Structure 1
Amino acid sequence: MASGSNGARRIASLMRPSLADSRVCRSCQETLVRRNYSTGTAQAAPETPSASSTSQSTVTTPVLNSKHIIQAGVVLSRPPQITRDLTPFEKSFFFYQKRLNERLVLPFTKYFYFRPKTPLDEDWKRKVKERQTAARDIGKYNAYSKDAWNDELLVGATEHEPENAMETLVKDAESIANATSQDAAKKEEVPKPAPRVTEADKQGDQKSLNRLLQRTLYLLVQTNEGYWKFPSSPVQTEETLRAAAERTLEQAAGINMNTWMVGYHPVGHHVYNLRRPKMDAASETQILGEKTFFMKGRIMAGQADLTKNEQNLKDFKWLSKEEIAQYVLPQYYSNIKNMLPDR
């Protein structure tokens, strides 16, 4: 019976290796914590203590309390400032709808405004011949000619590009303003819309909030050891998770930011298990690792400042979701990627 019991224990140990074994990777350690294994080996009957065993002194193993350090993390984001970029199909489709609308609307009743064979009527005919359409941003297209059906774009055309439409409309507005201006010597200039690509984009400045305006940016900080992460710190005694997140953000990125927390509940969590648990001599507790719960926040104004941070941080960046994957550890990213929207 003793040999059968030892065999059962050996099989169980092979199917469920020790978490402290250095040959077991971190991912497998987390899996071993979650799984429960069962074997077909029958449970051996408890052995009856013999006289020799009772005569020996009993060795007792102290029971240690184990825990994870609970941390509060902050996913601080800057929302998109402009609309997203259109796909090539969307650009072509919207341009086709513009030309189709030119064919469906009623023509301009010029005789209501201009008497036939008057200077104004002749001037109107000249302008119509030049423009061929009432909407300058759809190019040379006569919606009432016999070739009006041919309203699709040719390969390599740029009329459907937003930049081309913007330049065309600005030039048209400037020509009208100069034609009706009282001062012929002064050239009127129409203000252009702000560019979608900023100087920070051109220079690759990842610390600037004025970049990737069509995407959501997230604040990442770098520890002295070189690891990138979201701002986080241990939750103190009798401190709520939201209060801990607000304190963490102030200690990590300074007070020169106008921010607010979205809700009182975390949007996700990350579990980090130590390869070898360590002892906390003060509380006589075995530390297994860290559990970080992330609170969602928004920045309205200001900028991060690490000059007086209290968490031994040395750098920060404002990154998009795809850029975050290039800086953080793969296991860390696998736990946080579902918290971040694609845009």
Structure 2
Amino acid sequence: MSSGSNSARRVASLLRPSIIDSGVCRSCQETIGRRSYATATPAATESTTTPPVVTPAYTINAGVVLSRPPQITRELEPFEKAFFFYQKRLNERLALPFTKYFYFKRGTPADEDWKKKIQERRTAARDIGKYNAYDSDAWNDELLLGAEQSEPANQVEALVQDAESTANATSQDTSKKEDIPRPYPRITEADQKNDQKSLNRLLSRTLYLLVQSKEGNWKFPTSPVETGETLRLAAERTLSESAGVNMNTWMVGYHPVGWHKFNAPRAKKGETAKPDASGSKVFFLKSRIMAGQADLSINTQNLKDFKWLAKEELPQYLNTQYYSNIKNMLADR
């Protein structure tokens, strides 16, 4: 017997159990024995009817989460302020190479003059407050939680005043007072005015761009993906069509960081549903603004307004379901 017939018989045995197989009951053996199998598929008949046009259940949209990263470090907690100040004092006390008596002999006029200046200056070794690292009470260098000396603003002011007094005391021109420039404040004018269109507010937080549609709804910049367009290209086009081209932006990646689904609007009672009604799925890509500002004067999406908001401010403007789907892709800071 040829090998080809053996293979065919083996395949047939796999497709059709043997009637003498003890694992098959008598009823099933009779059914299998009577069953006929087709040896060829019938010729396909040519259909003369055109397939119906099916409206897709959802349209695909590209959304852009455009953010401005934090510009300064966050505000310190009260414990952090006190602890860092304690570490500063401890470091200065342990790292000072020489005592004052290396320079001034005890009891000399120079030593007394030094002590007088230190008493007036109150900032020995560029320290803050009345603490003296050489005093017998130098071990007591801890601060109570919330002490004024641990506040950065108080430290900056003490250091600036100390620098001004030193500069004026050593200056040869006594007619002009030396002014040391202060650091810029953490609270800006935009914070004081609550200008939510400014990028100069909440400098220690991440801000996100929201736009308002003509119906009054707030959302991230969004538009449908066109034919032959990738999600990345659609996101770039969406950003230029909604917020203008006066921004230097950078798309973080090619893949979405989240998505949101809008269902098709339901027909009201007594009305028939529209046949072309469909929902939408929005896939969000991350982007960063490096310079510039949003401009809606030439937008092609009929947008009315925009805001730069922190994460905790978004629920005031976004739909509850919309925010619940996008909140986990936003930075907490």
Taking structure 1 as the reference length, what is the TM-score of the superposition?
0.75
Equivalent residues in 2 for 1:15-30, closer than 5 Å: none
Matched position secondary structure for 2:149: coil
- Contact kept? 1:223, 1:314, Cα under 8 Å: yes
Matched, 1:94 2:94: no
173, 192, 200: which is aligned to 2:190? 200
Report the AA paired with residue 148 of structure 2.
T
Give the corresponding residue for 1:242.
232
- Contact kept? 1:131, 1:140, Cα under 8 Å: no
- Contact kept? 1:72, 1:295, Cα under 8 Å: yes
Matched, 1:267 2:257: yes
Give the corresponding residue for 1:149.
139
Distance in 2, Cα, partners of 1:161 & 1:187: 27
- Contact kept? 1:133, 1:143, Cα under 8 Å: no
Matched position secondary structure for 1:81: coil
Distance in 2, Cα, partners of 1:188 & 1:250: 50
Most deviating of 92-101 and 193-202: 92-101
Report the AA paired with residue 314 of structure 2.
I
Matched, 1:328 2:318: yes
Give the corresponding residue for 1:159.
149
Give the corresponding residue for 1:108.
98
- Percent of pairs identical after alignment? 71
Report the AA paired with residue 266 of structure 1.
P
Q: Which structure: larger Rg? A: 2
Taking structure 2 as the reference length, what is the TM-score of the superposition?
0.77
Report the AA paired with residue 187 of structure 1.
K
Give the corresponding residue for 1:188.
178
277, 286, 290: which is aligned to 1:296? 286
Please give the per-residue CA displacement for 1:208-235, whole angstroms capped at 9, x wherever unaligned: 0000000000100001111100000001
- Contact kept? 2:259, 2:281, Cα under 8 Å: yes
- Contact kept? 1:98, 1:138, Cα under 8 Å: no
Distance in 2, Cα, partners of 1:339 & 1:156: 35
- Contact kept? 1:68, 1:287, Cα under 8 Å: no
Give the corresponding residue for 2:119.
129
**How many pairs does the alignment contain?**
278
Most deviating of 83-92 and 96-105: 96-105
- Contact kept? 2:265, 2:277, Cα under 8 Å: no
Matched position secondary structure for 2:215: coil
143, 158, 174: which is aligned to 1:168? 158
Matched position secondary structure for 2:264: strand
Most deviating of 119-128 and 201-210: 119-128
Distance in 2, Cα, partners of 1:63 & 1:252: 32
* Cα offset, 1:182, TM superposition: 1.6
- Contact kept? 1:200, 1:211, Cα under 8 Å: yes
Distance in 1, Cα, partners of 2:323 & 2:116: 63
Distance in 2, Cα, partners of 1:252 & 1:289: 21
Give the corresponding residue for 2:68.
78
Please give the per-residue CA displacement for 1:103-144, whole angstroms capped at 9, x wherever unaligned: 323363445545677665443232233346534443111233
Distance in 1, Cα, partners of 2:248 & 2:56: 39
194, 200, 214: which is aligned to 1:210? 200
- Contact kept? 1:196, 1:213, Cα under 8 Å: yes
- Contact kept? 2:68, 2:208, Cα under 8 Å: yes
Report the AA paired with residue 287 of structure 2.
G
Report the AA paired with residue 304 of structure 1.
A
Report the AA paired with residue 256 of structure 2.
P
Distance in 2, Cα, partners of 1:105 & 1:126: 24
40, 58, 66: which is aligned to 2:56? 66
Give the corresponding residue for 1:313.
303
Matched position secondary structure for 1:325: helix
Report the AA paired with residue 235 of structure 2.
A
Structure 1: 5+ residue runs without aligned partners? 1-61, 281-285
Distance in 2, Cα, partners of 1:147 & 1:110: 16
Please give the per-residue CA displacement for 1:268-324, whole angstroms capped at 9, x wherever unaligned: 1111112328656xxxxx543110011111111111111111001000000000011
